[in-house]
Chain A
Amino acid sequence: MSAGGFWAMGHYGAYVWPCYGLALAVLGWNVWSARRHHERARVRAQRALAMLDTNS
């Protein structure tokens, strides 16, 4: 298959490529969102522990 034929996907390229692009975006969002969730929780936990130390 030529490069042009591969990208055209038998005239279905306009449907096939957005699906793969969206799939990669969803996978990427999941990783980014999970990391951000953990980082935010870590900062909140640090603040909570710092407040405990201040009060004691």
Chain B
Amino acid sequence: MWTWFYRLASPPFIYRRSAKLTPWFMTVAAICIVYGIVDGLAFAPPDYQQGDAFRIIYVHVPAAWMSLFCYTTLAVAGAIGLIWRIKMAYAAAAATAPIGASMTLLALVTGSLWGRPMWGTYWAWDPRLTSELILLFLYVGVMSLRSAFEDPARGDRAAALLSIVGVVNVPIIHYSVVWWNSLHQGATVAKIGKPSIASSMLWPLLAMFVGFMCFYAAVLCMRLRGEVLSRERQSAWVREAIK
């Protein structure tokens, strides 16, 4: 296991393995997302309270889940970089941040579009919405901080520190609907016991979860290749790799 871990620290290994994995992840992502969209839009029955507006969850919930997952990955990668001084962990964090930020924006906008017909407003300073907005600011902060330093190594360390400090917001977002009175509905799928959603509505949602995860993995691989090349452009192996 440790051999595998150490190989992950090798830039040429990451660069070549990413190229091989990208099409596999992208294919699974495309299949799952197409199935999820078609089943979610055309075949899942309308909700008895929300009608067809509930179909927004098939993009909103996976995007919101990815926004939390990407930020946690950012913090874990930052911690690995700071503790073990593995440069590839910083590269993974740098590659993850824009993906996570775009997912957070998608979650906020789709949530807002769902809120208008359901709550009668596009936005409310509700704990869930506010903490998710703070997450977007954290992503922007981490990306800005990384690029604010002339020395990339210092930028990486500063961004890692901010991402580790900011990870406290992840459980706050998740439990905000439990800890405070919130307009936002509680957990539907990730409940202890049985999910409170019919299986005909659940399958497309699960497909979208898998699709978004694989999509993240595919784009991470693509972005990692760029990050590795940027960071290692004067290394001998790069000459062979970019022929």
Contacts and interface: CB of A to CB of B under 8 A. Distances in A.
Contacts of A39: 226
A29 B41 CA distance: 23
A33 B98 contact: yes
Interface string B182-226: 000000000000000000000000000000000100010011011
Contacts of A33: 98
Interface in A12-33: 12-13, 15-16, 18-20, 22-23, 26-27, 29-31, 33
B42 A22 contact: no
Contacts of B239: 49
B238 A12 contact: no
A12 B226 contact: no
Contact of A30 (B33, B52, B102, B233): B102
Interface in B92-130: 98-99, 102-103, 105-106, 109-110, 113-114, 116-117
A33 B46 CA distance: 35
B103 to A, nearest CB: 7
Contacts, number: 105
B109 A22 contact: yes
Contacts of B117: 12, 15
Chain A: interface secondary structure? helix
Contact of A52 (B33, B113, B114, B234): B234
Interface residues of A, number: 34
B165 to A, nearest CB: 26
A26 B33 CA distance: 13
Contacts of B229: 38, 41-42, 44-45
Contacts of B51: 10-12
Contacts of B238: 45, 49
Given A31-B222, A44-B229, 11 more contacts: A15-B116, A15-B117, A20-B59, A30-B215, A37-B223, A38-B225, A41-B230, A42-B242, A44-B230, A49-B238, A49-B239
Interface of B: 33, 37, 41-42, 46, 51-53, 55-56, 59-60, 63, 98-99, 102-103, 105-106, 109-110, 113-114, 116-117, 215, 219, 222-223, 225-227, 229-230, 232-234, 238-239, 242
